[in-house]
A and B are shown apart, each in its own frame.
Chain A
Amino acid sequence: MDDVQAMHIANGIINGPVSAIFIAIAMAGLAVCVWRAKLDLDDRLAPMAGLVAAFIFAVQMLNFQVLPGVSGHLLGGTLAVILVGPWVGALCVSTVLIVQALVFADGGLTALGLNITNMALIGTAAAYLLVALLLRVLPRSSRGLGATALIASVIGVVVAAMGFVAEFALGGTADLSITAVAATMAGTHTLIGIGEGLIAATTVVTVAKVRPDLVYALRAFRAPIRAKAAVA
């Protein structure tokens, strides 16, 4: 079966120096995420982020058929930031990428910085900024929430793809016209993003119906009062 989803950058697509720069960028970004995620979850961070990362990983493994012979799966970055917030979300997506590279040989080791930067950092950052904006301007209904998740997912996926385009412009090893690469990436990833967004929207709305208190973005941008459990 064909997989329509974006894949992880392999070794050798982007040259050594640029890969190295992005490893540094990813490490700096991750350090910030760890610091802020600890503020969010304190000593619950390891188990909670571990379960959320397991969730993202499991969801990426669940294939569904888009058309006969073509299957897709969720990437889950935008879903993660809406549900657990930008810092824990980015941290979880990064952990998934590291595990995929190391345990499943999916994605080049030297390209890990590139993949983390694109999928876990800039894609999720763009998505979350949009979420923050849209939840304030759109109606405070589950439709508004669904629309937010849909739009943020499309943009998140496209921005992650543009990250690749930028990296390719900086250190691509192949002689391709950058506008052609950008156009192809933008086109395919808009389609991927729409599929991603439809699922993310339905998922977020489902969760918000049952446990609105669990949806980070709703806590942050919609609910004025924040209940704190008496757990120590």
Chain B
Amino acid sequence: MEPLYLARESRVHRLSPEVKIAAVLLFTIVVVVTPREDLTAFAGYTLLIALVAGLARVPAGWLLKRATIELPFVLLAVVLPFTGHGERVDWLGLSLSVDGLYGAWNIFAKGTLGVLASLLLAATTSMRDLILGLDRLRCPTVITQIMTFMLRYIDVLIDDARRMRIARLSRGYDPRFLWQVKAFAVGVGALFLRSYERGERVYLAMLSRGYSGRMPSGSGSKAPAAEWVVSSALPVAAAGIAVAAAVLA
């Protein structure tokens, strides 16, 4: 598994995880509720993202490459100008629906800004800290505990799967395309057995060290108020931009 975290020294990296999660979430909400016609607002948001990326020392190329995760939805957006109704404009000999163009823009802009904000969060916050952050934002502990175990064991399981695949290949079994479905599924079944049995062994190991149903609580101290103020700059600036754009329009 290849996490997105970029270990760097930066002011953004140093912020506590909970303030970053909150800031990105609020920023995303502002973006999503912005009317699609407020083009200046979206330009402003992009500027904010660029600013944070610069502060966090996250390269633009890195961000753009990973933002392609959202590509399927951009493809969905592409059809809208052709299928849309109402007023139409001609562009390079194509008749495009104005409403459809706005619809496509809406999906493209909000989707991309959302992905970029999430990427910045993941790039500047380790998995461990993200869970701690959720914990401090009062996410139910069952969920954060399940996440903790999950993230601990994903790589172990992927190694297991890789070893089983190599064993299969080294016995000369290498079907392609649909024929491999059976071998693949047998591998998945074996992986489930290993995961489940490992879960049971982990539980025994926990009991052996005095586990009685309560995990030790997250370590470290909560974010100081100053960090909340600093990180709120992102959503507050975004909201300011949104209001300004609405007033200007």
Residues of A within 8 A of B (CB): 3, 7, 9-13, 15-16, 19, 30, 34, 38, 42-55, 57-59, 61-62, 64-68, 74, 79, 83, 91-92, 94-96, 98-99, 101-106, 108-110, 173-177, 180, 195, 198-207, 210-211, 214, 231
* A109-B118 contact, Cβ under 8 Å, with A11-B111, A66-B177, A203-B185: yes
Q: Hey, which chain A residues are within 8 Å of B152, CB to CB?
A: 50, 54
Neighbouring A residues of B147 by C-beta, 8 Å: 50, 53, 95, 98-99
The SS class assigned to the A binding surface is: helix
Flag if A109 contacts B24 (CB, 8 Å): yes
The residue in A53, A195, A201 that gathers the most chain B C-beta atoms within 10 A of its C-beta is A53
Task: A66 to B115: give the CA distance in the assembly, Å.
Answer: 28
Contact B189 A202 (CB under 8 A): yes
Q: In the complex, A101 Cα to B66 Cα: how many Å?
A: 13
4 closest A-B pairs (Cβ-Cβ)?
Answer: A50-B149, A12-B110, A206-B189, A11-B114
> How far is B7's CA from A165's CA once the two chains are assembled, in angstroms?
40
Q: A42-B213, A58-B158 are in contact. List 5 more A-B contacts (CB 8 A).
A: A55-B191, A58-B195, A61-B1, A102-B121, A105-B115
Among candidates A10, A15, A16, A19, residue contacting B73 with C-beta atoms closer than 8 Å: A10
State which size class the interface on B falls in.
Answer: 35 or more
Least CB separation from B1: chain A residue = A61
Other-chain contact of A16, B29, B113, B119 (Cβ < 8 Å): B29
**B199 in contact (CB, < 8 A):** yes
Q: Is B37 an interface residue (CB 8 A)?
A: no
- The 8 A CB mask of B29-43 against A (1 = contact, 0 = none) is 101110010000000
- Taking a contact as CB atoms under 8 Å apart, the answer to whether A16 and B107 are in contact is no
Contact A109 B28 (CB under 8 A): yes
Chain B residues within 8 Å of A195, by CB: 181
Which partner residue on chain A sits nearest B190 by CB separation?
A: A206
B150 touching A54, Cβ below 8 Å: yes
Chain A residues, CB < 8 A from B36: 173
Complex: A12 Cα to B122 Cα, angstroms: 20
| Contact A48–B199 (Cβ < 8 Å) | yes
A-B contact pairs, 21 of them (CB 8 A): A10-B73, A11-B114, A12-B32, A16-B32, A47-B206, A50-B148, A53-B146, A54-B157, A54-B195, A55-B196, A62-B184, A65-B176, A65-B180, A96-B150, A108-B118, A109-B28, A110-B114, A173-B107, A174-B76, A202-B189, A206-B186
A13–B111 contact, CB under 8 A? Answer: yes
Interface assignment of B25: CB less than 8 Å from any CB of chain A: yes
Residue of B29, B176, B185, B188 contacting most chain A CB atoms (<10 Å): B188
Does chain A have a CB within 8 A of B224? no
**Set of chain A residues within 8 Å of B191, measured between Cβ atoms:** 55, 58-59
User: How would residues 67 to 90 of chain B score, 1 for a CB under 8 Å from any chain A CB and 0 otherwise?
Assistant: 001101100110010011100000
A91 in contact with B185 (CB, 8 Å): no
B143 is an interface residue with CB less than 8 A from chain A: yes
Q: Is the CB of B29 within 8 A of A46?
A: no
Complex contact A46–B110 (CB within 8 A): no
Measured between alpha carbons, how far is A74 from B184 in the docked complex, in Å? 10
By beta carbon, the residue of chain B nearest A63 is B184
* Contact, CB under 8 Å: A103 / B130: yes
The reply to whether A109 and B80 form a contact with Cβ atoms under 8 Å apart is no
State whether the Cβ of B109 lies closer than 8 Å to any Cβ in chain A. Answer: yes
A109 adjacent to B25 (CB under 8 Å): yes
- Determine whether B198 belongs to the interface, using a CB cutoff of 8 Å to chain A: yes
Of chain A, the residue at the smallest CB distance from B66 is: A105
- Name the CB-closest residue of B to A202: B185
Please report the C-alpha to C-alpha distance between residue A117 and residue B15 in the assembled complex, in whole angstroms: 32
Interface readout for B84-121 with A: 1 if CB under 8 Å, 0 if not? 11000000000001011001101101110111011101
Q: B223: shortest Cβ distance to chain A, in Å?
A: 17
A124 CB, min distance to chain B CBs, angstroms = 16
Identify which of A105, A199, A201 contacts B119 (C-beta below 8 A).
A105
Are B122 and A95 touching (Cβ within 8 A)? no
Cβ-based interface call for B6 (8 A): no
Residue B151 is within 8 A (CB to CB) of chain A in the complex: yes
- Which A residues touch B173, using CB under 8 A? none
Q: Is B138 part of the contact surface with A, judged by Cβ < 8 Å? A: no
